[in-house]
Amino acid sequence: MAEYVMSVEQIGPTLLPLVGGKAANLGELSRLPGVNVPDGFCVTTDAYADIVARDDHLHRLLEGLAGVAGGDLEGIRSVSARIRDAIEALSIPAGISGAIAGQLHRLGDTEAYAVRSSATAEDLPTASFAGQQDTYLNVIGLDAVLRCVRNCWASLFTERAVAYRLQQGIDHRGVQLAVVIQRMVFADVAGIMFTADPITSDRRTVSIDAGFGLGEALVSGLANADNYRVRDENIVGRLVSAQTVAVRPLPGGGTEQTGVDADRQTARKLTDAQILRLAGIGRELEAHFGGPQDVEWALADDEFSIVQSRPITTLFPVPGPQDGKNHVYMSFGHQQMMTDAMKPLGMSFFQAQFEGTPLIEAGGRLFIDMAPDLASPVGRQLALASLRAIDPLIDSAIRILMKRKGFAKNLAGDGERYLTLGGGGGYFTWRLPVEAVKLYRSNDPAPIAALKADHEADLDEQQRKLGSLSGDELFEAVLDDLRQHLKVEVIDPRSMGAVYAGMFALNRVNKRMEKWLAVKGAADVLAQAVADDVTSQMGLALLDVADIVRRHPQAMAVLPLLTDDTFFADLSAVEGGESVSQAIRAFLDSYGMRCPGEIDLTRPRWSEAPTQLVPMILSNANSIEEDPAPSARAGRVERSRRRADEMQQSLVDRLQREPGGRWKARRAAKMISRVRTFAGYREYPKYLMMRHYWMIKRALLAEAARLVDAGIVRRPDDVYYLTFDEFREAARTGRVDQELIGQRRAEFERDTRLTPPRVITSDGEVPPGAYENATAPDGALTGIAASAGTVEGRARLVLDLADAYLEEGDILVTTYTDPSWTPVFLTVRGLVTEVGGMMTHGAVVAREYGLPAVVGVDGATRLLRDGQRIRVNGTDGYVELL
């Protein structure tokens, strides 16, 4: 039998489907000693479901809303308005209205109440939905309460609520609405408390906003709040704001805006004792609910009432222990150009590859605790020197922390060190500078060719070995390949020495040419058309595909309509499709192991999902000039080589005219020669790594298919939500926890909505980094000058490579780029990324293709609008909004 009402005291967290998130939290709060919660009751979701089930017209409208896309603002506006009108016009059945009347009689028929919505997808650990539905204050009498209940039901379909659910991927029909009705608190002061600082995310700081009158004045933005900050039971900040307007209750019901008396407008809202008492309540709520809380409170007659406490869902989880010592966690993903969440199999696989490296998981991302390195003066100096080259914003954020009084003294000094990366086999071994210097001095490409030949032979041997194994033998062989072959190949001092020789040559040319000739970014031009750049060669190879595609109009027209499952069969069925299929297959034979976010083994490779290539193929096909001779690739390579040769000749000629010019010209020619010899190798280790990944993935997917055939998992990608060891155990025992797989899927969806910080401390603080750029004009966005030149054009915000339909002349604005984005660079005129440094993928390929680029522009995808005209200054490192 339906239960239409429940008192707050009856409600617990297990009743969430019946009462919604807000009521479930209030019921839990009402049982906490020392926490005052206004008495009240809940109109349950049974009542809402009964109303919807009775009305066929409303049911049809809800069905129609399911077909509206998230970006269809007009569709959302139209359908949601019709649903609200239908709900507000409903007559509440006697069974429901009678139950509400009975509760009002218990509490007091003439009392004033607050009527608030409580959705089943609201105030949850993974999605707060704060403010998505309506609240009504100072409601008096049964008729007014019933009207507000109906309006709360309708508010489930406001445009903002519908859009939010679409963004969170929540089915409208699966969300039910309850309504909370509580005694009204006629507050002298009200506000919001965050038990973690909402600006810095510091978990040790409580932030309290307070204003005179009802809290509606602050929520609606009518008044500025006082802000008080409490850290470790000490008040560390008091910001008093002038308040001229407050919201007060009217005698007959409802509220009004009133002026604040002149002598009180600049007065503090809370005393120090009240601030500390409220912060203490916040800590009790945080301890009870097991995480930082967003708390709504009211103060009347010096007594605090808590009217809501919900989890803060936007905080990024702290990666490691909170042991009283300071830890500094650096994002590994910002170095790898992979800030997306990773699935458990991909995460554990990557960690197994770098066993012994201090990689810590949080929020589906990997972090490194820098505290052991920073704890010693020598380690600190080495770490900061390396970080400045990797990501200046990480470097800046850590320097800010290290200047803080007492921070360095309390650093955790024990643990694995970043600078030894894997117990002495990493980037910073003594052999690395030796190998780099030896290669740089010799300027001989032969060792690179020999190194590649060794790697190719080893890859072939491993592929033959994995192809013959299954079961536990396969998993053991995969671990052997990761630890004994791939790890050695990727961080082999000889290989990394070649990378660093190229980095050193680029840096040295830029510094010398700026000093000698006042030419900035000279090496950016000289790095075009360098030897051995496998990533740039990949982009040019896809240009060859585009060259073929544009000659077959029917195949070109059908490409956007294809699906991965029948891609080549459907393509070959149209005129010219077979030729295009052959071209794409040939490309995939060489580069099909790549994809966006490729360090996550579980991400679909181009060979698995060739539709990912379609936007890039079409963008390139549309930008190719008619009848290129002999091909678009050859034309682009020749132009790049000519620009580099012309720059080299210009620099040498100018230097020879300078005092001491002959010596400088000879030095410059040698440095430039080293750029051309070594700069292209930068992308090869990642390419080799992805070839190993694809070989291993195919073997593991064959094992997953065997588990599906045996009925152990439902579908192959279920294994992506198991760790590598769990997958191995499932294959060995024939058992798997399906509930765990479902839980991991939900956790992954939650993690995808989090934004990983570059740096986060053990207190949860996210220190902001900053650039120093004296040349940037006011209002410009600053970043790293990654590839010289200045260009103006239309900003195209692309967050997913599958949406990269670009036109020639566009400027690509995105979060990060990895090698899979390279073909896009053939169409655009410039690049702006939020993540990156001088030697990360976007910077390297932008220089190769001669594109002005600014990388590491914090918040670029939020601050720039799609279609906006911008100017990218890749020489001085800033972006202007035109």
Q: In what order do the strands lie in the sheet with 293-300?
A: 234-239, 226-231, 205-212, 189-194, 293-300, 303-311
Distance between CA atoms of residues 45 and 49, nearest Å = 6
Tally Cβ neighbours within 10 Å of residue 136.
23
- Which residues on adjacent β-strands are paired with residue 41? 7, 181
Q: How large is the greatest C-alpha to C-alpha distance in the chain, in angstroms?
A: 100
| Half-sphere CA count of 141, side-chain side, radius 13 A | 7
- Which residues on adjacent β-strands are paired with residue 178? 118
> What is the three-class DSSP state of 136?
strand
Q: Is the peptide bond before 630 cis (omega within 30 degrees of 0)?
A: yes
Non-local CB neighbours of 792 within 8 Å, separated by 6+ positions: 869, 870, 871, 872, 882
Q: Which of 552, 605, 604, 603 is nearest to 581 (CA)?
A: 552
> What is the three-class DSSP state of 320?
coil
Distance between CA atoms of residues 834 and 771, nearest Å = 13
Contact 117, 179 (CB under 8 A): yes
Match 């290669």 to its residue by tokens.
439
Distance between CA atoms of residues 863 and 284, nearest Å = 38
Please give the distance of CA 202 from its chain centroid, rounded to a whole number: 19
Q: Which of 169, 193, 183 is nearest to 139 (CA)?
A: 183
Contact 737, 751 (CB under 8 A): no
Task: Confirm whether 841 is a catalytic residue.
Answer: yes
Amino acid at 518: A
Match 């539709």 to its residue by tokens.
611
Question: Which run of H or E residues covers position 144?
Answer: helix 142-155
- If DSSP states are collapsed to H, E and C, what string results for 758-805? CEEECCCCCCCCCCCCCCCCCCCEECEEEECCEEEEEEEECCCHHHCC
Match 């079409």 to its residue by tokens.
618
Non-local CB neighbours of 29 within 8 Å, separated by 6+ positions: 35, 37, 285, 306, 309
Q: Which of 447, 635, 622 is nearest to 540 (CA)?
A: 635
Residue ranges in 520-660 assigned as alpha helix (H): 522-526, 534-549, 553-558, 567-572, 577-591, 614-623, 632-656
Residues marked active site are found at 841
